Amino acid sequence: MYYCNQCGKCYSSQSSLYQHMNIHASKYKCTECGKCCQSSSALVVHRRRHSGEKPFECTVCSKRFTTTRVLVTHGKIHSGDKPYKCHMCDKAFSQCATLNSHMRVHTGDKPYKCSLCNKSFSQSSNLQTHKRQVHSNRRPHQCPFCEKMFKANIAVKQHVRIHTDTKPHSCRHCSDRFMWYHQLKQHLLESHNVGTWLVCNICQKKFSHSGQHKMHVRRHQAVKPYVCSECPKRFCTVSELKRHYLVHSDMKSFGCILCNTSFRRKSHVVKHFNKCAFNLSFSDMLPTC
């Protein structure tokens, strides 16, 4: 594999790497993030990510996109067209790139390596998510409803659904709609027998979501890839590692609204609040002298 020393992307041939390096030398550079594009039109499309402009709308679900190419690809979700089939497990995909990414499940190829901890990933998006979630504490994106901060803009958009009760994922077999894609996937499996269950080969437990399946298998195998930077403890998931970091922090973000006592963990303040509310109600019942 040939790696770009500027952005970490990898290529199977040296000529592909040289072609990619032309992007970094391009004169079409984004003034907001510094990314270089191959043409002025590509720069216009890239700037839409910063401005949030999405001029192309899906006529079925009203979801909007930055380019017509992405819109056409999205349309295959509604049509059910999946022309790209895996020859090893018969899974089908609407995009060739998704099939290529899926094939790494069978080959075990993980070409994208984190420069900070040397962990490898099968997809570049997984690498970027890993860097953002594990190695960065920056949260520049804020929820307009509850002022909660997030590391990625897409996380804000997903979080806002809780406030607006938006359900963008609709079932093509019935009128049910869902807030999250994994809910739709599980609904299709349980109600319409559409899709394939992911089965644990150790205890035969079934899962509809690949992330849940992987995490479950890790617990059988005692695999703990996430290591605390403050102590030798290891964890199966990023969320477990984040909860553990509170042990090393003096920050107490959760406060009781009845007595202003602060806690590190949300579960602790909930438990305290119930006890505090009970004590207040009990004191109201006592006779006054």
pLDDT digits (tens, 9 = 90+) for 24-57: 666 677 887 777 777 788 888 888 888 888 888 8
Model confidence at 264: pLDDT above 90: no
Q: Where are the domains of the chain?
A: 19-53, 254-285
Residue with tokens 């790696």: 3
Model confidence at 178: pLDDT above 90: yes
* pLDDT at residue 283, as a whole number: 57
Question: How far is the C-alpha of 139 from the C-alpha of 19, rounded, in Å?
Answer: 34
* pLDDT at residue 52, as a whole number: 80
Average of per-residue pLDDT across 263-274: 79
Close Cβ partners of 20 (under 8 Å, ≥ 6 residues apart): 4, 9, 11
Identity of residue 163: H
57-71, 227-241, 257-271, range with the lowest pLDDT: 257-271
Q: Which two tokens stand for residue 103?
A: 């094939």
> Percentage of the chain with pLDDT > 70?
92
Question: How far is the C-alpha of 108 from the C-alpha of 71, rounded, in Å?
Answer: 31
The values of phi and psi at residue 37, to 5°, are -120, 160
Model confidence at 23: pLDDT above 70: no
* pLDDT at residue 83, as a whole number: 83
174 or 253, higher pLDDT: 174
Model confidence at 271: pLDDT above 80: yes
